[in-house]
């Protein structure tokens, strides 16, 4: 007799789920930058999962928060010691201070880093051990007592398939990191969405609502930035240096340029750089790593040490060589 879809999924995840003893007190955080749908949704999902197990779990304020994601985290997701200094959008301009304030009243047994690795925390963890759950393979794969770093469409997919975290909010992680199932292993991503639908309470109504909340009006400053930035186009490739350091404007400028160019390199005024291409190119993460960053074969990022014109010119040429090699 043929297994039903639900029975097949149960058998699949029973084989792949990684048994793990979570700490009694866990701080769940994503990388300090970028803050995106994968890191925020995974943070929320793991906090919910751990609390349902009767464990203490909190997160820190983030450095930035995009309007389309600010509905995901709630004040209760932050420890009371961090809420007083956080903005209404649950952000802070000093992660180290927020963390140190937390340690004065509540010291986690473990920090779980989702969608990034501990070298991107943005604060000194003061000796607290970390466990990493990440799908970025800049430093290779790992699967041991300190990390689960494996190829996957998103970190949320690892939470589903390897740790049995079946919170509906992980649909945000999966959709945003695969660009609505257009890239980043979309078939594997559908497998995780099926698990959330059959076993995690994801419904048509919930998924429709999430996608509506993710679609927010764009800031008109995006148009101004695109008109006045240092934009260098070369056929299907564009290199743009923005005047603003706002992460939300940078993100939306890159999204708009993606409608017209196959290969993008967009530099923010504070030196943050995002790379994007429409087809897998292993030169992209190598280029990012050369400048101290990392990422995937279709998307990567780094942070420049300066905005000197000579450095920008060199990055521009290196980018052109990487995507056209």
What share of the chain has pLDDT > 90, as a percent?
82
Same domain, 136 and 184: yes
Say whether pLDDT at 24 is over 50: yes
Domain with 132 in it: what CATH number? 3.90.1640.10
pLDDT of residue 5: 54
| CA angle (17 as vertex; 11, 21 as ends), nearest 5 | 140
Same domain, 225 and 143: no
How many DSSP H helices and E strands does the chain contain? 12, 12
pLDDT of residue 2: 42
Same domain, 147 and 251: no
* Host domain of residue 188: 5-214
Same domain, 196 and 285: no
pLDDT of residue 218: 80
The token duo for 274 is: 């995002």
Same domain, 130 and 237: no
* Alpha-helical regions (H) of the chain: 5-16, 37-52, 80-83, 95-103, 155-163, 170-177, 186-199, 204-214, 221-228, 247-257, 283-290, 309-324
pLDDT of residue 279: 87
Last residue of a domain, one of 194, 214, 234: 214
Last residue of a domain, one of 180, 214, 248: 214
Last residue of a domain, one of 179, 194, 214: 214
Same domain, 75 and 193: yes
pLDDT of residue 159: 98
User: Is the Cβ–Cβ distance between 214 and 206 less than 8 Å?
Assistant: no
Same domain, 156 and 272: no
DSSP state letter for 78: B
Same domain, 103 and 232: no
Query: Model confidence over 215-272: pLDDT tens digits?
Result: 988 889 999 999 999 999 999 999 999 999 998 899 899 999 999 999 999 999 999 9
Say whether pLDDT at 12 is over 60: no
Query: Model confidence over 197-213: pLDDT tens digits?
Result: 999 999 999 999 999 99
Using 50, 70 and 90 to split pLDDT, how confident is the model at 163?
very high
Same domain, 194 and 239: no
Domain with 251 in it: what CATH number? 3.10.310.30
Region 277-303 average pLDDT: 91
Total number of domains in the chain = 2
Q: What are phi and psi of 243, to 5 degrees?
A: -85, -20
Query: Model confidence over 79-135: pLDDT tens digits?
Result: 999 998 899 999 999 999 999 999 999 999 999 999 998 888 999 999 999 999 999
pLDDT of residue 14: 52
Query: Model confidence over 170-206: pLDDT tens digits?
Result: 999 999 999 899 888 999 999 999 999 999 999 999 9
Same domain, 22 and 156: yes
Same domain, 257 and 164: no
Same domain, 59 and 183: yes
Using 50, 70 and 90 to split pLDDT, how confident is the model at 1?
very low
């Amino acid at each position: 007799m043929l297994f039903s879809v639900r029975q097949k999924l149960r058998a699949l995840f029973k084989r792949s789920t990684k048994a793990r003893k979570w700490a009694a007190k866990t701080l769940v955080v994503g990388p300090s930058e970028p803050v995106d749908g994968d890191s925020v949704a995974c943070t929320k999902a793991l906090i919910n999962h751990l609390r349902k197990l009767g464990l203490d779990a909190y997160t820190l304020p983030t450095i930035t928060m995009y309007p389309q994601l600010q509905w995901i985290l709630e004040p209760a997701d932050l420890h009371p010691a961090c809420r007083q200094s956080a903005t209404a959008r649950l952000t802070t301009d000093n992660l180290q201070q927020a963390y140190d304030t937390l340690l004065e009243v509540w010291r986690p047994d473990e920090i779980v880093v989702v969608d990034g690795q501990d070298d991107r925390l943005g604060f000194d963890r003061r000796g607290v051990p970390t466990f990493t759950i990440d799908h970025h393979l800049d430093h290779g794969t790992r699967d041991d007592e300190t990390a689960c770093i494996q190829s996957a469409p998103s970190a949320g997919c690892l939470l589903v398939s390897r740790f049995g975290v079946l919170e509906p909010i992980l649909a945000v992680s999966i959709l945003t990191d695969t660009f609505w199932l257009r890239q980043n292993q979309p078939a594997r991503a559908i497998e995780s969405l099926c698990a959330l639908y059959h076993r995690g309470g994801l419904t048509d109504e919930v998924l429709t609502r999430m996608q509506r909340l993710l679609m927010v009006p764009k800031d008109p400053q995006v148009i101004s930035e695109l008109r006045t930035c240092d934009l260098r186009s070369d056929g299907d490739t564009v290199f743009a240096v923005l005047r603003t350091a706002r992460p939300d404007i940078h993100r939306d400028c890159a999204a708009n340029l993606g409608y017209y160019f196959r290969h993008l390199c967009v530099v923010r005024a504070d030196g943050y750089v995002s790379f994007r291409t429409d087809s897998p190119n292993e030169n992209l993460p190598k280029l990012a790593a050369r400048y101290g960053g990392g990422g995937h074969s279709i998307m990567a990022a780094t942070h420049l040490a300066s905005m000197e014109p000579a450095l920008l010119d060199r990055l521009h040429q290196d980018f052109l060589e990487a995507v056209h090699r």
